[in-house]
Structure formats: C-alpha cells, structure tokens
Amino acid sequence: MNGNMAQPVSVLHVLGGTNLGGAESRIMDLYRHIDRNKVQFDFLVHTGREGYFDKEIKELGGRIYRVPRFRLYNYFTYKKAVKAFFQAHREYQVIHGHMTSTASIYLPAAKNAGIPVTIAHARSAGVDKGIKGIATRILRKNLWKKADFLFTCSKIAGVSVFGKKAVEQGKTLFVPNAIDCKEFEYNESTRKKVREKLGIADQYVIGHVGRFHYAKNHEYLLRIFTALCKESRKIDEACKGFVLLLLGEGGGMQAAKTLAGELGIEDKVYFLGNQGNVSDYYQAMDYFVYPSRFEGLPGTIVEAQCSGLKCVMSDTICEEVAVTDLVHTMSIEENPDKWADYIAKTMKYDRRDRVQEMQKAGFDVCAQAERMEKFYTTGLRQEMG
C-alpha cells in the first residue's frame, strides 16, 4: 500500500464518536499496540462533542475530523459533507469504516477521491427497532459490493451486515474483537479494594458492562436480578445479599433507573456510568450476566472470561466468543426467573483467570496488532490468515 515506508501508512477510522464504546475501545487497544512508525491512525467522527479518547488520540499522534451526524432527512447534506471531506483529504491509504449504517455513502466517496483501500467492518448482528432500523437495512443493501475488504467480528455479524451470500462465498474476513488480555487478569487485591470502595465487600455481585441501548436489553437484566434477589439461596453464610453493578451510559439509562425503582431494587443497583479502569470492576464482580438482543462479538464477554468470571449470555450472541467453560447461554424468550434460577445454582466456583486460553483463541491485541500492521502496510488478503 505504501511504497515509501519512511512515512507511516495513513489509516482513517470512521466512527460515530470517540467515547467508551465497544468498537472505540477495541480500536484504541489496537492503536496503543500497533507500531506507529509504520501505521498511523486518524479518526472521522459523526459528532461535534469531544469524546473520552480525544486527548489520548492526539497524544498518540492522531487527528480527529468531524462530519454531521446522519439523520435520514439530511441524506444529501451528509453525502455532500463526506464527499467534500475526502476530496480535501486524499492523503489516506486506507479508510476503515466501523459505521456500517452509512458506509455505503462514505466509502464510495473515499474511493472516488482516489483513496486506494476501503474497509467495511461489521461489528453488530442487529439493528435498532423502528424506522431507524429499516433505514439501516436499506443503506446496508449491497454494501458488500462497495468496499474492497469486508471485516467481520463474527459470522452472524457478517451475515447481518453483508448478507449470507457474501459470507458463504468467502468474501468476508474474520477479525476478532481483540483486547489486552493481561489487563483483565484476575487480581484479588484489586477485587478487595473496589468492593470496599463501593461498600459491597460482603455482597454477591452481579455485573454488566454496556451502553444503555435497546440491543443490551437492560430491562430483562433488571428482571433477572429482581428474581435473583428473591432467591433464598445465598453463596455462603458471609454473603449479605445481591447487588448489581451496571457500567456504561446511554439514552436508556433513565428508563432503567425508573424500572429499578418500580421493581423495588433501586438500593441494590449501582449505576456507575463509564469507567476508564473497567478492568478493576470485573475483579469486583462474581457473575457476569449479558442478555443482549443482538451483538457482533461482545468484547465484554472476552474481558469477563479473562478475569475468570462465570458468564451467562443470551443464545443470540455468537458462539465464537464462548471460548472457555465459564460461558453458558440461555434464551431471552424464557422467563427471567429461569436465568435467576440458573445463576443461583451455579454461584459457587473457583475463580481464576483464563488469560492464556483467551490469548490462544486469538483474542489478544498484541497478536492482532501485528496482523493488522501487516495488512495495512501490504494490503494483501493472505496477511489476514
């Protein structure tokens, strides 16, 4: 891709924003570990607001550009804005698009501006409900024909975004959501410190990490927890009861708080917002519960397994993420009581980290940084394995 290796390959990542989301966190993990003498990242975001990672991006040498957020009614304004952007920024060798809802607009605009390589990266296996979801499906139609490379974090994400035909014909490339596995290694002293800080040292802690959004199904999670609180069984004599730690932010947070009040569990639910040291909070948890309606490949389940947490997740989530015997799947069509019953029956287990297992399964960012560096600098499909 880059004949003159004295200059790093310029890669532009296209995102909604630079806050603590799954895709953003995974890209930042990659950015920290990739050889920035060979590959440099910039970011094109769809917000005027400063994001959580903005300061770090600039410290790592990256630039952040902004275009208007796409809102259906501004289709032509949006198309004009991205066209103007790429006409003014032809210096990029690679455009890596993580926003597949509008990739069919901005990737062709980049190609028309003479940018050599375009990538559409499928990270989710579903769409929002209502008109927004319908529009996303329409905009993604034939996206697989509009990008040079199709990356997918799981098979179901690939089928959802690019279609069954593209996946079956081998047009997609599997790129797992890799993390810094060692960062999530189980640490007993960190566990004690966080639990003491939150005042939950003698509680059994159910945990969840994810934005408050339709996909994450917080309503169902709160009903599982309510049912669990009614269970007479406890982990042991020292356990005073249950608490639920919710990390993340989003438009659905207020509705979740209201429901927690209606269910009578508000004193047991901790809405902790976004936390930069999220790995510390995994240590404090005892059980990870993830009843998502849809996902691509949730890095949270990878993180939870690294820290040795038992996990129960919905069976709509891809099987690629269930690397260890810590993960159990259940249907969200079931009564939440059944989830609570399963958790109550499997609460006792020996906690130990599973970092090596996750690294061997390909989820470590160090190995992925090498893999992606080769891809970005050569553009050869076989470099992706």
Tokens of 4: 């003159």
- Predicted pLDDT at 237: 55
**Which CATH code of 3.40.640.10, 3.40.50.720, 3.30.930.10, 3.40.50.2000 fits the domain covering 181-360?**
3.40.50.2000
Per-residue pLDDT tens digits of the chain, which is 385 residues long:
554 456 999 999 999 999 988 789 889 999 999 999 999 999 999 999 999 999 999 999 999 999 999 988 899 999 999 999 999 999 999 999 999 889 999 999 999 999 999 999 998 766 677 776 677 777 778 899 999 999 998 888 888 899 999 989 999 998 888 889 999 999 999 999 999 999 999 999 999 999 999 999 999 999 999 999 987 555 555 567 999 999 999 999 999 999 999 999 999 999 999 998 999 999 999 999 999 998 878 889 999 999 999 999 999 988 888 999 999 999 999 999 999 999 999 999 999 989 999 999 889 999 999 999 999 998 665 455 5
pLDDT, position 85? 98
Alpha carbons 352 and 188: distance in angstroms, whole number: 10
CA dist., res. 213 & res. 168, Å (int): 30
- What tokens appear for 13 in the block? 């990542």
Specify the pLDDT at position 282.
Answer: 98
Other C-beta atoms lying within 10 Å of the C-beta of residue 30: 22
Question: Any residues with CB less than 8 A from the CB of 21 and at least 6 apart, and which?
Answer: 211
> pTM for this one?
0.76
Domain(s) of CATH 3.40.50.2000: residues in the chain: 9-178+364-384, 181-360
Q: What is the spatial distance between Cα 238 and Cα 236, in angstroms, rounded to a whole number?
A: 5
CATH number of 9-178+364-384: 3.40.50.2000
Q: What is the CA radius of gyration of the chain?
A: 21
State the amino acid at position 63 in one-letter form.
R
Q: Is the dihedral of CA 160, 162, 167, 173 positive or negative?
A: negative
Q: Residue 243 and residue 117: Cα distance in Å, rounded?
A: 48
